[in-house]
């Protein structure tokens, strides 16, 4: 009797896997005897004919540039000419606009101090001493937010000017802009 049960179990075991069918996941067997095939399970997620499609983008984010230029040789006793630009479409355009602004304000040897994109920038100058002009070095800094750029510029300004008081002379952002495809 044990030999009979063992033989029956061995004969039935290989056929139990045939219940899965011959189709890949997400499909079921169709057709009877003869030619068989597979069809997608209605409502199945792996079916290519469900009508769903990938989302279509409505537009794209475009980089925007800014720059700060300063006169490296200010006139004796004169203020340092500074030119700035924001929201330009290219680095070259931002730098050209900043240099042009510096020259229009009297600069004779204007140079780029900072070019930045998709972020904010700030200039911190030493605070004027009582009854006179400020003495020391100005600092240019950039960061992700306006507050961070101002804070960083003030901190570095105080550091390079022996802990003296500094103030933000300029700050702005050139953040990326969304352009719709329409």
Residue 94 in any domain: the answer is: yes
Residue 1 in any domain: the answer is: no
Domain count, the chain: 1
The winner for highest mean pLDDT among 2-6, 74-78, 145-149 is 145-149
pLDDT band at 13; cut points 50, 70, 90? low
Residue 27 in any domain: the answer is: no
What is the C-alpha separation between 157 and 136, in angstroms, rounded? 9
Whether residue 55 is predicted with pLDDT greater than 70 in this model: the reply is yes
Tokens of 111: 């140079």
pLDDT band at 150; cut points 50, 70, 90? very high
Q: What are phi and psi of 57, to 5 degrees?
A: -65, 145
Residue 14 in any domain: the answer is: no
Question: What pLDDT, on the 0 to 100 scale, is given for residue 52?
Answer: 59
Average pLDDT over residues 76-87: 85
Mean pLDDT across the chain: 85
Residue 3 in any domain: the answer is: no
Question: What pLDDT, on the 0 to 100 scale, is given for residue 125?
Answer: 93
Whether residue 47 is predicted with pLDDT greater than 50 in this model: the reply is no
Residue 151 in any domain: the answer is: yes
pLDDT band at 21; cut points 50, 70, 90? low
Residue 114: other Cβ atoms inside 10 A: 18
Give the range of the structural domain holding residue 65, as residue numbers without chain letter: 60-180
Whether residue 36 is predicted with pLDDT greater than 90 in this model: the reply is no
Q: Listing from the earlier edge strand, what are the strands of the sheet with 110-117?
A: 82-88, 65-71, 110-117
pLDDT band at 163; cut points 50, 70, 90? confident
User: Is the alpha carbon torsion for 121, 161, 113, 167 positive or negative?
Assistant: positive
Convert the pLDDT of each residue in 102-137 to its tens digit.
999 999 999 999 999 999 999 999 987 655 556 678
Within the chain, where are the H helices? 2-12, 91-104, 146-160
Average pLDDT over residues 134-163: 93
Residue 130 in any domain: the answer is: yes
Residue 119 in any domain: the answer is: yes
């Amino acid at each position: 009797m044990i030999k009979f049960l063992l033989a029956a179990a061995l004969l039935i075991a290989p056929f139990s896997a045939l219940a899965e069918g011959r189709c890949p996941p997400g499909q079921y067997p169709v057709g009877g005897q003869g030619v068989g095939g597979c069809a997608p399970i209605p409502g199945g997620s792996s079916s290519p004919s469900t009508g769903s499609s990938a989302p279509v983008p409505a537009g794209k984010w475009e980089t925007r540039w800014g720059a700060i230029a300063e006169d490296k040789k200010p006139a004796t006793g004169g203020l340092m000419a500074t030119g700035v630009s924001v929201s330009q479409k290219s680095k070259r355009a931002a730098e050209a606009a900043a240099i042009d602004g510096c020259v229009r304000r009297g600069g004779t040897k204007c140079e780029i101090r900072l070019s930045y994109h998709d972020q904010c920038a700030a200039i911190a100058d030493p605070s004027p001493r009582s009854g006179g002009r400020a003495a020391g070095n100005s600092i240019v800094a950039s960061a992700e937010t306006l507050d961070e750029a101002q804070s960083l510029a003030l901190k570095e300004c105080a550091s390079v000017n022996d802990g003296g008081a500094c103030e933000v002379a300029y700050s702005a952002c050139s953040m990326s802009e969304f352009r719709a495809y329409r």
